[in-house]
Structure 1
Amino acid sequence: MEKEIKIAAVGDNCIDVYDNTGEFYPGGNPVNVAVYVKRMNGNSSYTGVVGNDDYGKFMIDAIKAKGVDTSHIRILEGKTAVTHVELKDGDRVLGEYEEGVMADFRLTEEDIDFLCSHDLVVTGIWGMIESELHRIKERGVPVAFDFADKIDHDITKIALPFVDYAFFSCDQKSIEELHEFMKMIKSKGPKLVVVTRGEQGSIAYDGNVFTQFGIIECEVVDSMGAGDSYIAGFLLGLLQEKSMEECMEKGAQCSAETIGYHGA
Structure 2
Amino acid sequence: MNVLGLGDAVVDKYINKHIMYPGGNALNFAAFAKKLGQQASFLGVFGSDKEGSYLKEVIDSLKIDRSHSRTRNGENGYSEVKVLDSDRVFVGSNKGGISSGKLLKLNKEDYDYLRDFDLIHIGLYGQVDHLLDKLQAMNVLLSYDFSDNFTTEKVDGIISKINYGFFSLSGKDSNYVKSFLKRNYTSNNKVLLATRGSKSAIAFDGKNFFEKKPNNIVPVDTMAAGDAFITSFLLAYLSSGKDSVEEAMAKANIFAAKSCQVAGSFGFGAKY
Which interval holds the TM-score relative to the shorter structure?
over 0.9
Contact 2:44 2:70 (8 Å CA) reproduced = yes
Counterpart of 1:39 in structure 2 is 35
Distance in 2 of aligned mates of 1:190 and 1:205: 10
Residue among 58, 67, 73 paired with 1:71: 67
Q: Structure 1: which 5+ runs fail to align?
A: none
Contact 1:131 1:159 (8 Å CA) reproduced = no
Percentage identity across paired residues of the two chains: 30
Q: Structure 2: which 5+ runs fail to align?
A: 266-272
Partner AA of 1:41 in structure 2: G
Contact 2:79 2:90 (8 Å CA) reproduced = yes
Counterpart of 1:254 in structure 2 is 255
Partner AA of 2:97 in structure 1: G
Contact 1:131 1:158 (8 Å CA) reproduced = no
Alignment of 1:70-89 (within 5 A): 70-89=66-85
Counterpart of 2:99 in structure 1 is 102
Counterpart of 1:245 in structure 2 is 246
1:114 aligns with 2:113: yes
Partner AA of 2:106 in structure 1: T
Distance in 2 of aligned mates of 1:244 and 1:129: 28
Contact 1:6 1:43 (8 Å CA) reproduced = yes
Helix, strand or coil for the counterpart of 1:217?
Answer: coil
Distance in 2 of aligned mates of 1:94 and 1:225: 12
Partner AA of 1:258 in structure 2: S
Counterpart of 1:233 in structure 2 is 232
Distance in 2 of aligned mates of 1:117 and 1:217: 38
Helix, strand or coil for the counterpart of 1:69?
Answer: coil
CA drift of 1:154 comes to: 3.8
Distance in 2 of aligned mates of 1:97 and 1:182: 30
Residue among 51, 56, 59 paired with 1:55: 51
Contact 1:130 1:158 (8 Å CA) reproduced = no
CA drift of 1:64 comes to: 1.6
Partner AA of 2:244 in structure 1: S
1:202 aligns with 2:198: no
CA drift of 1:184 comes to: 1.1
CA drift of 1:138 comes to: 1.0
Contact 1:125 1:145 (8 Å CA) reproduced = yes
Contact 1:18 1:87 (8 Å CA) reproduced = yes
Partner AA of 1:124 in structure 2: G
Q: 1:14 to 1:69 in 2, by over 3 A?
A: same
Counterpart of 1:155 in structure 2 is 154
Question: What is the aligned residue count?
Answer: 260
Q: Which has the higher contact order (CA 8 A, sep 6+)?
A: 2
Which TM-score applies when normalising by structure 1?
A: 0.94
Cα deviation, 1:186-232, whole Å, max 9, x if unaligned, reads: 04842211001111131110011000111123221111010000011
